[in-house]
Amino acid sequence: MKTAIITGSGGLIGSEAVSFFAKHFDYIIGIDNNLRSYFFGDTASTHWNVERLQDRYPNYRHYDADIRDAEALEKIFKKYNSDIALIVHTAAQPSHDWAAREPRTDFSVNAYGTLNMLELTRLYCPKAVFIFTSTNKVYGDNPNLLPLVEQQTRWEIEEQHPYYKEGIDERMSIDFCKHSVFGASKVAADIMVQEYGRYFEMNTAVFRGGCLTGPNHSGAQLHGFLAYLMKCAINKEHYNVFGYKGKQVRDNIHSYDLVNMFWHFYKHPRKGEVYNAGGGRFSNCSMIEAIEMCEEITGNKIDYSYLDNNRIGDHIWYISDVSKFKTHYPNWNYTKNIHQTLSEMFFSFTTREAEVV
Ligand SMILES: NC(=O)c1ccc[n+]([C@@H]2O[C@H](COP(=O)([O-])OP(=O)(O)OC[C@H]3O[C@@H](n4cnc5c(N)ncnc54)[C@H](O)[C@@H]3O)[C@@H](O)[C@H]2O)c1
């Protein structure tokens, strides 16, 4: 029975992966203990999403286990054993602001939890494909050293710079910079995933996400900015913009497009690969531009304040260059740009009101 394990299955990327892979596998094993509500409060709970998956996919089995609990995980790996053909590991403490509150919790979830998943994969199903959702924060604040120019609504890189056309590629250094505590715990996990590919010759891949987004994000002030902004626009709640004149640029990839990357990798895996994975030049916006788009889509004026202090280590301009992935997997492409994603969110949030409040 071909089986996929998806950690963080109640979260944005995990739940998209369940929906995507349910038709390709006999069993989908979801692991999520709703730690997101501990990180960000009840409004960020992912419980609703797990219930939705259980209702919708009869081959979905949920385990309320903690990825830090090696014994609990081992029972799952022992049960499904070599039937496990794919692991999509998305469970994480995902916020760099939150990480500074409890560095031990952050590191144990992001680094140690990932090591648990890798080691059990090596012991029980070493031929499986192991996909890890890393982050562009592994590059720390190095992107802030790029030559940027200020435009009316955004920061932009100088046109002569090699990153202008496609964005930042995987060769950017992860050294000599401030990562934030979160960035550091993700670096540890990112390197381990690469190492299990290179040293143990397993089929592992690291996807360094820009902003990952989509209608199934349980957006909170500290994580999931587009979903949270859209919620504020719909519910007429206050929003804070932190620093850089609100012109900081993020590239935003829809969760479907990212999981579709995983599918392409799964079909033709490689060992210890690293890919930047964001919306690239295809889908990106500044904070101000995102506010304008949400106002246009909802018809509501957003009540926001501007605070001078930027978040520590926050990127001023980040656009992912996904051309390495496109070269390895030429049949993959984006399907949803930022406007489509925001419109989808608006529709989803307004027809799923219980989750918005
Ligand atoms: N969303 C983004 O913008 C973004 C950007 C770059 C990288 N990433 C990375 O992508 C991955 C997925 O992000 P997301 O936005 O889907 O996050 P998410 O918070 O929506 O989902 C993560 C899920 O993992 C669960 N979880 C957390 N700790 C756990 C633990 N110890 N045991 C079991 N379950 C646990 C949470 O309850 C949550 O449901 C994360 O690794 C994150 O660091 C996200």
Task: Name the residue at shortest CA distance from atom 11 of ligand 1.
Answer: 90
Give me the chain's average pLDDT, please. 95
User: What Å distances lie between residue 221 and 17, 96, 154, 224, CA to CA?
Assistant: 24, 12, 21, 7
CB 153 within 8 A of CB 288: yes
Q: What's the confidence (pLDDT) of residue 202?
A: 98
Q: What's the confidence (pLDDT) of residue 353?
A: 53
Name the percent of the chain lying above pLDDT 90: 93
Q: Which residues of 90-125 are buried (b: 16+ CB within 10 A; e: fewer)?
A: bbbbbbbbbbeeeeebbbbbbbbbbbbbbbbbeebb
CB 268 within 8 A of CB 346: no
| Model confidence band, residue 155 (pLDDT cutoffs 50, 70, 90) | very high
pLDDT per residue over 90-99, tens digit each?
A: 999 999 899 9
| Model confidence band, residue 304 (pLDDT cutoffs 50, 70, 90) | very high
Q: Which two structure tokens, joined as six digits, stand for 51?
A: 């219930």
Among 16, 46, 90, say which to mutate for ligand 1: greatest number of ligand atoms within 8 Å of CB. 90
CB 236 within 8 A of CB 162: no
Task: Name the residue at shortest CA distance from atom 7 of ligand 1.
Answer: 135
CA of 33 to the centre of ligand 1 (A): 11
Q: Out of 160-164, 165-169, 308-312, pick the least confident.
A: 308-312
Point out which residues pair with 28 in neighbouring strands: 4, 60
Q: What's the confidence (pLDDT) of residue 333?
A: 98
pLDDT per residue over 249-292, tens digit each?
A: 999 999 999 999 999 999 999 999 999 999 999 999 999 999 99
Beta strands in the chain (DSSP E): 3-7, 27-31, 60-63, 84-89, 129-135, 148-150, 155-157, 203-209, 211-213, 239-242, 249-254, 273-277, 284-286, 304-307
Q: What's the confidence (pLDDT) of residue 355?
A: 44
Q: Annotate 125-169 with DSSP letters as a single string.
A: -TTSEEEEEEEGGGGTTGGGGS-EEE-SS-EEE-TTSTHHHH-B-
Among 20, 35, 250, say which to mutate for ligand 1: greatest number of ligand atoms within 8 Å of CB. 35
Compute the average pLDDT of residues 69-97: 97
Q: Which positions ≥6 away from 178 have C-beta within 8 Å?
A: 140, 141, 312, 313
Task: Name the residue at shortest CA distance from atom 15 of ligand 1.
Answer: 12
Task: Name the residue at shortest CA distance from atom 43 of ligand 1.
Answer: 94
User: Does the pLDDT value for residue 301 go beyond 90?
Assistant: yes
CA of 8 to the centre of ligand 1 (A): 6
Q: What's the confidence (pLDDT) of residue 30?
A: 98
Task: Name the residue at shortest CA distance from atom 44 of ligand 1.
Answer: 212
Task: Name the residue at shortest CA distance from atom 12 of ligand 1.
Answer: 90
CA pair distance 101, 282, nearest whole angstrom: 35
Q: Half-sphere exposure of 82 toward its Cβ, with a 13 Å CA cutoff?
A: 2
Name the percent of the chain lying above pLDDT 70: 98
Return the higher-pLDDT residue of 221 and 174: 174
- The helix (run of H) or strand (run of E) holding residue 176 is none
Q: What's the confidence (pLDDT) of residue 312?
A: 84
| Closest ligand 1 atom, residue 89 Cα | 41
Compute the average pLDDT of residues 66-84: 98
Compute the average pLDDT of residues 65-79: 98
Backbone φ, ψ for residue 234 (5° rounding): -65, -45
| Model confidence band, residue 357 (pLDDT cutoffs 50, 70, 90) | very low
Among 71, 212, 274, say which to mutate for ligand 1: greatest number of ligand atoms within 8 Å of CB. 212
pLDDT per residue over 140-153, tens digit each?
A: 999 999 999 999 99
Looking up tokens 């690969």, which residue turns up? 273
The sheet with strand 60-63 has its strands ordered as 60-63, 27-31, 3-7, 84-89, 129-135, 203-209, 273-277
Q: What's the confidence (pLDDT) of residue 217?
A: 85
Q: What's the confidence (pLDDT) of residue 354?
A: 42
Q: Which residues line ligand 1 (CB under 6 A)?
A: 8, 10-14, 31-36, 46, 66-68, 90-92, 94, 109, 113, 133, 135, 209, 211-212, 217, 224
pLDDT per residue over 185-238, tens digit each?
A: 999 999 999 999 999 999 999 999 999 999 988 878 878 889 999 999 999 999
Q: Which residues of 174-188 are buried (b: 16+ CB within 10 A; e: fewer)?
A: beebebbbbbbbbbb
